[in-house]
């Protein structure tokens, strides 16, 4: 369970680091400036780049009158959540109740974009709802009934957003009639506050055509209108996902978005064309532990560090990207081994690293990578400080 003392300790250590380096340097990712005794593998986050990513998304939302409720699944960090709140986020999004418990230390308005089902989960959710404002995304009468029953027993109010499937076909009510039924049912429950609609447009690629966006907009607008006709006011229409976050203004039905990955970005976002490599704020530092062939090295970062997630846009492109060796490919991961094959040009020029050398990797998917770390390291352009991944591994 998260300890409050831990939070204050790490916040003060971060603050100290910053004050000591008022003239912060630009992040140049010069690997030779990383101390030789830095543990590897480790995730290193550029404070400068993370702050710039947070500012860019907040500026976009401010410009378009959208509320930003960042999904904390990416960073799982109270440090990053605080930066997002300070920048202007209206609250935070989490997936699980355990994450909400952690994030409640820096935010009093949390949306759990996930159905709270199961006795254990509901019991913890109700304890949380006694302390802070909590909303939940659900897509079934069964979930609404269970939530109402638990909230009634606990004597609390819980906000509800009804989850609509807009095309990704994961969770979400799939038809209009059922959506209206569920919204009406929720609104009639004494301990539930119907707050609106949520959706996850994970099927929409960046820079999709206008028809895709029109269909997405129409799906939400028609429901909002029908609900209004029934006297149900829709406070929030919440979209999500980093890939399309900065196109959200194309869907005028939305008034809130829940992107997560933008805080650090990763190779998925780069290959989807959502950001540039120099907007990726988190990298994995790894050490070469074996060089079995002239064109091949093995690093100490495998699937236990990077995850075995493949690249969303290019599944066969390998398990990460080496910014200093653009032609190299991470061809295979075991749990603790990452196997990297270098190009003929790298071999010919004598640039292939040796045993003991260190490498930067940009992971395919930073969210799962962060979840595998007990801690990460903040780099302010000059010095490194360690922070815990506060909400790591919270499955319930």
By CB under 8 A, name the one of 49, 143, 236, 282 that touches its own copies.
143
Look at the chain and count its residues.
396
Determine, following the binding rule CB under 8 A, whether residue 304 of this chain makes contact with its own copies: yes
Determine, following the binding rule CB under 8 A, whether residue 311 of this chain makes contact with its own copies: no
* Choice between 75 and 121, CB closer to its own copies: 121
* Choice between 61 and 129, CB closer to its own copies: 129
Distance of CA 239 to the CA centre of its chain: 14
Distances (CA, A) of 278 to 49, 146, 209, 319, 347: 8, 46, 27, 19, 26
Strands 282-293 and 296-299: antiparallel
For its own copies, the binding residues in 272-301 under the rule CB under 8 A are: 287-293, 298, 300-301
For its own copies, the binding residues in 38-77 under the rule CB under 8 A are: 38-42, 73
By CB under 8 A, name the one of 165, 269, 346, 380 that touches its own copies.
165
CB of 372 to its own copies, least distance (A): 6
SS3 label, residue 196: strand
Determine, following the binding rule CB under 8 A, whether residue 355 of this chain makes contact with its own copies: yes
Distance separating alpha carbons of residues 97 and 350, to the nearest angstrom: 51
Strands (E), the chain: 42-46, 67-68, 92-94, 109-112, 133-138, 158-164, 192-199, 236-240, 256-258, 282-293, 296-299, 329-333, 338-341, 358-361, 375-379, 384-388
For its own copies, the binding residues in 111-140 under the rule CB under 8 A are: 114-115, 117-121, 123, 139-140
Determine, following the binding rule CB under 8 A, whether residue 230 of this chain makes contact with its own copies: no
How many residues of this chain interact with its own copies, rule: CB under 8 A? 67
Distance separating alpha carbons of residues 103 and 125, to the nearest angstrom: 13
Instruction: Give the number of other CB atoms < 10 A from CB of residue 392.
Output: 17
Given the rule CB under 8 A, which residues bind its own copies? 36-42, 73, 95-96, 114-115, 117-121, 123, 139-140, 142-143, 146, 163, 165, 169-174, 287-293, 298, 300-301, 303-305, 307-310, 332, 334-337, 339, 354-356, 367-368, 371-374, 392-393, 395-396
């Amino acid at each position: 369970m998260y300890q409050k003392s831990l939070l204050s300790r790490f916040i003060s250590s971060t603050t100290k680091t910053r004050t000591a380096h008022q003239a912060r340097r630009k992040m140049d990712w010069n690997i030779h400036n990383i101390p030789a005794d830095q543990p590897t593998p480790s995730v290193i986050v550029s404070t400068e780049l993370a702050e710039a990513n947070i500012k860019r998304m907040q500026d976009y939302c401010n410009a378009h009158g959208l509320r930003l409720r960042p999904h904390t699944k990416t960073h799982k960090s109270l440090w990053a959540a605080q930066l997002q709140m300070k920048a202007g986020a209206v609250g935070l999004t989490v997936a699980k109740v355990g994450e909400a418990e952690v994030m409640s230390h820096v935010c009093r308005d949390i949306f759990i974009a996930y159905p709270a089902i199961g006795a254990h989960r509901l019991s913890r959710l109700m304890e949380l709802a006694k302390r802070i404002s909590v909303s939940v995304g659900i897509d079934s009468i069964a979930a609404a009934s269970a939530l109402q029953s638990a909230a009634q027993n606990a004597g609390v109010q819980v906000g509800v957003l009804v989850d609509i499937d807009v095309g990704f076909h994961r969770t979400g009510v799939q038809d209009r009639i059922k959506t209206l039924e569920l919204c009406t049912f929720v609104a009639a429950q004494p301990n539930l506050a119907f707050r609106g609609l949520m959706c996850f447009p994970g099927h929409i690629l960046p820079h999709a055509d206008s028809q895709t966006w029109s269909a997405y907009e129409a799906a939400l607008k028609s429901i909002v209108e029908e609900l209004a006709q029934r006297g149900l006011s829709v406070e929030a229409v919440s979209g999500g996902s980093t890939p399309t976050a900065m196109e959200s203004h194309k869907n005028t039905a939305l008034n809130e978005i829940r992107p997560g990955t933008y805080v650090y970005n990763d190779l998925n976002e780069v290959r989807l064309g959502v950001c540039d490599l120099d907007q990726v704020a988190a990298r994995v530092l790894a050490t070469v532990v074996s060089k079995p062939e002239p064109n091949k090295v093995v690093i100490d970062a495998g699937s236990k560090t990077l995850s075995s997630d493949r690249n969303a846009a290019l599944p066969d492109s390998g398990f990460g990207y080496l910014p200093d060796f653009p032609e190299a490919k991470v061809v295979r991961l075991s749990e603790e081994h990452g196997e990297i094959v270098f190009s003929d040009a790298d071999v010919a020029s004598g640039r292939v690293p040796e045993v003991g050398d260190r490498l930067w990797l940009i992971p395919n998917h930073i969210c799962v990578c962060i979840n595998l770390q007990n801690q990460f390291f903040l780099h302010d352009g000059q010095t490194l400080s360690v922070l815990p991944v506060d909400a790591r591994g919270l499955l319930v």
